[in-house]
Every structure is written in structure tokens, then in C-alpha cells.
């Protein structure tokens, strides 16, 4: 059995889950609504406030889908009840970001500023402190969309290993390299 797939999912009191006949799982909560189409071979069963996901066979494809769909449903329930948040910091001299009308305007050391249109599902705010790094805080109910947007923003200027300049997640450990050593 899949270690992740066999774990039951507990539904909080303020969340409603509906499993349609075509295996369309709809989750509604205080923060919004999410839908996920589940493979017809994977069975999604509800008993009161517990969801279990099971598979018919033991081949490699079914085992991988078993854990995948269980994790997706669990993330949907967490998203509509609590939401997901990522924090990214802009490290480097002159590296900064500003937000206006859903467009992120970033200065990342290039000759021009980079404009990035955020999806309407993501709520973001830029926190600039004097003598500190600019921090971008993004919140969303869809974990997959939030992670994809955060990874795209990070890829615009990934942190470099010598000085650590670039866009990184708050608390991310970087592997630093020593620079040139002086001749003795």
C-alpha cells in the first residue's frame, strides 16, 4: 500500500466535500471552492467526516496515482479552510519589488525592470523595510498554483552561490561557495 495514499483525510467542520459520479471532487470552505478530477480507476469514498482513497490494483501507475490524488484532495481541504502562504525575499543591492494592480514590478539588477502579472487567485503584498530586504508575501487557496508562481518568480533571478544575491524563499538554506583565495 502507498504510505500516503492509505492515510484517511479528516474533513473540518466548516468544509463541505462532494464527490460526483464522474469522480469530480468539489471542496467548499470559508476561503473559496476548488475542484479536482480524479482518475476513474481510483475510488474516493466518504464516511461522515472522513475521506478514504483506494486503488483497484497494485501496478506502478495505480500506486503512484493513489498517493497523488490523496495528497491533492488533502491540499484542497487545507487550502479552502486555512490557505497557503509563501514568503520570498529579494537579496542584493538595488533588488526590490513593488505591487500595483496585480502587476509585480521587480528591479533585479538588469538594465530594465521586470513586470510580472500575478493570477487573480493570488493575493500578494510587498513589505519593504529601511536597510532591509524587500519581502514578497503571497497567499492562495490553490497550493499548486501558488508554488508554480513562486517558482517562476524565483527563476527570474535565482540566488547565486558566492554572495547569495537573488530571489529566495524566507528561511531557505543556500549552499555558499568560497570565492578566490588570496595568493600567499
Set out the domains of the chain in order of their start, with CATH numbers: 9-81 (3.90.930.12), 84-169 (3.90.930.12)
Helix residue spans in 25-170 (DSSP H): 60-81, 143-156
d(CA 136, CA 56): 44
Three-class SS state of 100? strand
Once rounded to an integer, what is the mean pLDDT over residues 161-178? 90
For residue 79, what are the CA distances in angstroms to 8, 30, 36, 144? Answer: 17, 10, 13, 10
Measured in whole angstroms, the distance separating CA 143 from the mean position of its chain's CA atoms is 4
pLDDT of residue 132: 87
Strands 9-10 and 16-19: unpaired
Q: State pLDDT tens for residues 44-78.
A: 999 989 999 998 888 888 888 999 999 999 999 99
pTM for the complete prediction?
Answer: 0.88
Percent of the chain with pLDDT over 90: 69
- C-alpha cell read off for 58: 497494485
- The residue whose grid cell reads 493513489 is 66
Q: State pLDDT tens for residues 174-183.
A: 898 888 876 6
Once rounded to an integer, what is the mean pLDDT over residues 22-42? 93
105, 109, 141, 144: which is closest to 123 by C-alpha?
Answer: 141
Once rounded to an integer, what is the mean pLDDT over residues 160-164? 90
27 bridge partner residues: 17, 34
Amino acid at each position: 500500500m502507498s504510505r500516503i495514499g492509505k492515510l484517511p483525510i479528516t474533513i473540518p467542520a466548516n468544509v463541505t466535500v462532494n464527490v460526483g459520479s464522474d469522480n469530480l471532487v468539489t471542496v467548499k470552505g470559508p476561503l473559496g471552492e476548488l475542484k479536482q478530477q480524479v482518475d476513474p480507476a481510483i475510488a474516493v469514498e466518504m464516511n461522515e467526516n472522513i475521506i478514504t482513497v483506494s486503488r483497484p490494483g497494485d501496478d506502478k501507475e495505480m500506486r503512484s496515482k493513489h498517493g497523488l490524488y490523496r495528497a491533492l484532495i488533502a491540499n484542497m481541504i487545507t487550502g479552502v479552510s486555512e490557505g497557503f502562504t509563501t514568503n520570498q525575499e529579494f537579496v542584493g543591492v538595488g533588488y526590490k519589488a513593488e505591487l500595483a494592480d496585480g502587476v509585480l514590478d521587480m528591479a533585479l539588477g538588469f538594465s530594465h525592470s521586470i513586470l510580472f502579472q500575478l493570477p487573480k487567485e493570488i493575493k500578494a503584498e510587498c513589505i519593504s523595510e529601511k536597510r532591509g530586504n524587500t519581502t514578497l508575501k503571497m497567499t492562495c487557496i490553490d497550493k499548486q498554483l501558488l508554488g508554480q508562481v513562486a517558482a517562476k518568480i524565483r527563476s527570474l533571478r535565482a540566488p547565486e552561490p558566492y554572495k547569495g544575491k537573488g530571489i529566495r524563499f524566507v528561511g531557505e538554506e543556500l549552499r555558499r561557495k568560497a570565492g578566490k583565495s588570496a595568493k600567499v
